[in-house]
Amino acid sequence: MSIPSGAHTSIILRLELHKETASFGQIATAIGDSGGDIVAIDVGRSDKTTIVRDITVNVYDQKHTDLIVQAVNAVPGAKVIHVSDQTFLMHLGGKLETTPKTPIKNRDDLSRVYTPGVARVCMAIHEKPSRAHSLTIKRNTIAVVSDGSAVLGLGNIGPEAAMPVMEGKAVLFKQFAGVDAFPICLNTQDTEEIIAIVKAIAPSFGGINLEDISSPRCFEIEQRLVEELDIPVFHDDQHGTAVVLLAGLLNAVKIVGKRLEDCKIVVCGIGAAGIACSKMLLAAGVRHIVGVDRSGAIVSGETYSNPAWQWYADHTNPDRLTGSLSEVIRGADVFIGVSGPGVLKVDDLKAMAPDPIVFAMANPTPEILPEEAEPYVRVMATGRSDYPNQINNVLCFPGIFRGVLDCRASCVTEQMKLAAAKAIASVVSDEELNEHYIIPSVFNTAVVERVREAVIQAAYESGVARKAQPTAPKQPVPYY
């Protein structure tokens, strides 16, 4: 039995096999019968009686690993001596390092990079603080700030546990858009403290990417920082997600031959991502949006302690539908999931309108797995890298920040977000568009370039770009 796209990781089993009793065939059978998928085999060392082999196996999770180890150890003459996990190996010592752009080869270099030469540069910035943008890392560097309160769909796991995600975001910024990014995880979940800390560190950065801060605190934190800082502040889980969702949906409705404005859309999980996605859909002209959270549909007339939900109740659900997800999803054209694992059932899909579109975007485990949903839906997307149609904010944030840094925008406007969504959607041509290709791959280099260009143009149109506009109409703005 092979493990297709559902496998999460691969492990390397180091085995000691007694040559006379254990054969490789027996080991392969034990692994295969336990559902492991062997992808590579190496010989570590060999002597007269024993052979040590490293076997790379695709597995689902830790429980699956344990099962395979047990099955291999049950083969007479075989012993698992070490198990390493490729994903953990990639994280050893973290995923980032600092690399100097100006290596110091002699005392002369030293006196320029550091004291005394550096003092003249300091004083130049002191005289005119905007020079920090050209004379320091500020012009190409952003902070990825989290308090660890809503990390992916894992919940409030704290700042240390949030670091691998923030380091990952920083890697993506650099690899896809050349943006330098620092992961900064804060040991506080107090709104005022977070605002004060981000304001205090802002001088070093050209932009702030807020990440995985739970709702409703994320709304006030972002709004206050946008008002109080002169660099772009962008809560990725809200706006990055909403931009990519709209891009995917603009293309998905073309496949099913429906107008976006006419679609009945159910959004599950009315937190940071759910509220921003709904706002973006309203701005795109959608009228029938019903939001559902743990306690059922959000509807006007109810009183909610969360002010964001009060706003939501007043601006969505025009037919005042009430009840659970299973109740309000009847007849819906589109399901947007930004909630948690396994929330959506096959019976819910069967109750949707013909040609359902399902974006199950919760990470790492979606609201329903594609293999379960696909027989009943026309277009299926998740937030994950290991299935087709990855609706993930990674398609947005590198290009958005590349654009705002390059034109020195003071903020990210609605017009810039809409331009980014259309730019992402446009990467998939009408000839290429099909059920399994509604959104470009993150590895498609056209994505960042198109988002960047669209964002810069919209920034000039919105009047928030501070870099002098190039005089020739189509002349590209320099990359750095």
Binding site for Mg ion (CB under 5 A): 212, 237
Cβ distance to ligand NAI smaller for residue 65 or 209: 209
Binding site for ligand NAI (CB under 6 A): 150, 152-153, 214-215, 237, 241, 268-274, 293-294, 338-340, 343, 361-363, 383, 391-393
Nearer of residues 154 and 197 to Mg ion, judged by Cβ: 154
Q: Report the nearest approach of ligand PYR to the CB of residue 340 (Å).
A: 11
152 binds ligand PYR (CB under 6 A): yes
**Residue 114 annotated among the catalytic residues of the structure:** yes
Q: Does 317 bind ligand PYR (CB under 6 A)?
A: no
Q: Which does 340 bind (CB under 5 to 8 A by kind): ligand NAI, Mg ion, ligand PYR, none?
A: ligand NAI
Closer residue to ligand PYR, CB minimum distance, 169 or 402: 169
CA-derived radius of gyration, the chain? 26
Residue from 278, 317, 339, 363 touching ligand PYR (CB under 6 A): that is: 363
Residue type, 215: S
The answer to whether residue 383 forms part of the interface with ligand PYR (CB under 6 A) is yes
Distance in Å, CB of 296 to ligand NAI, minimum:
9
Length reported for the chain:
480
Q: Smallest gap, in angstroms, from Cβ of residue 119 to ligand NAI?
A: 45
- The closest of 383, 380, 447 to 177, measured between CA atoms, is 447
Tokens representing 439 are 């959104």
Q: Which of 382, 393, 413, 457 binds ligand PYR (CB under 6 A)?
A: 393
Query: Closest distance between ligand PYR and the C-beta of residue 153, in Å?
Result: 6
Q: Whole-angstrom Cα distance, residue 344 to residue 118?
A: 59
How many residues lie near ligand PYR (CB under 6 A)?
A: 8
Q: Which residue, 69 or 280, is less far from ligand NAI as judged by CB? A: 280
Residue 339, contacted partner among ligand NAI, ligand PYR, Mg ion, none, CB below 5-8 A by kind: ligand NAI
The distance of closest approach from Cβ of residue 259 to ligand PYR in the complex, given in angstroms and rounded to an integer, is 28
241/246 Cα distance (integer angstroms): 9
Query: Shortest gap between Cβ of 252 and ligand PYR (angstroms)?
Result: 19
Beta strands 264-268 and 334-337 are parallel
Kindly name the residue from 60, 128, 169, 376 that is annotated as catalytic: 169
Tokens representing 356? 């359902």
In terms of DSSP H, where are the helices of 264-369? 272-283, 307-315, 325-328, 346-350
Q: Whole-number minimum distance, CB 67 to ligand NAI, in Å?
A: 27
Residues 198-237 that bind ligand PYR (CB under 6 A): 212, 236-237
Which residues are within 8 A (CB) of 192 and not within 5 positions of it... i.e. 6 or more apart?
A: none
Residue 97, C-beta contacts closer than 8 angstroms, at least 6 positions apart: none
Choose the one of ligand NAI, Mg ion, ligand PYR, none that binds residue 140, judging by a C-beta under 5 to 8 angstroms depending on kind. none
Which residue has its beta carbon closest to ligand PYR? 363
| Residue 230 DSSP SS3 | coil
Establish if 392 lies at the interface with ligand PYR (CB under 6 A): yes
Three-point CA angle 144, 146, 147, nearest 5°:
160
Class of residue 2 by CB neighbours under 10 A (exposed 0-12, middle 13-18, buried 19+): exposed
Bridge partner residues of 336 (DSSP)? 267, 359
Question: Please, is 375 exposed, middle or buried when counting C-beta atoms within 10 Å of its C-beta (0-12, 13-18, 19+)?
Answer: exposed
353 phi, psi to nearest 5 deg = -65, 165
Does 365 help bind ligand PYR (rule: CB under 6 A)? Answer: no
Distance (Å, whole) CA 288 – CA 389 = 24
Instruction: Describe the strand order of the beta sheet including 207-210 as a list of residue ranges.
Output: 180-185, 141-146, 207-210, 233-235
**CB nearer ligand PYR, residue 34 or residue 387:** 387
CB of residue 283 to ligand NAI, shortest distance in Å: 18
Residue 269 partner contact from Mg ion, ligand NAI, ligand PYR, none using kind-dependent CB cut-offs of 5 to 8 Å: ligand NAI
Q: Active site residue: 63, 105, 114, 345, which one?
A: 114
Distance CA 114, CA 241 (A): 42
- 71 or 272, CB closer to ligand PYR? 272
Residue 293, binding choice from Mg ion, ligand PYR, ligand NAI, none, Cβ under 5 to 8 Å by partner class: ligand NAI
Give yes or no for a contact between 351 and 371, defined as CB atoms under 8 angstroms apart: no
* d(C-alpha 34, C-alpha 247), whole Å: 40
Dihedral, CA atoms, 260, 264, 269, 274, nearest 10 degrees? 30
Residue with Cβ nearer ligand NAI (72 or 292): 292
- What residue ranges in 203-302 does DSSP mark as E strands? 207-210, 233-235, 264-268, 288-293, 296-297
Q: Give whichever of 391 and 448 is closer to ligand NAI, judged by the CB atom.
A: 391
Residue numbers annotated as active site: 114, 169
Chain positions contacting ligand PYR, by CB under 6 A = 152, 212, 236-237, 363, 383, 392-393
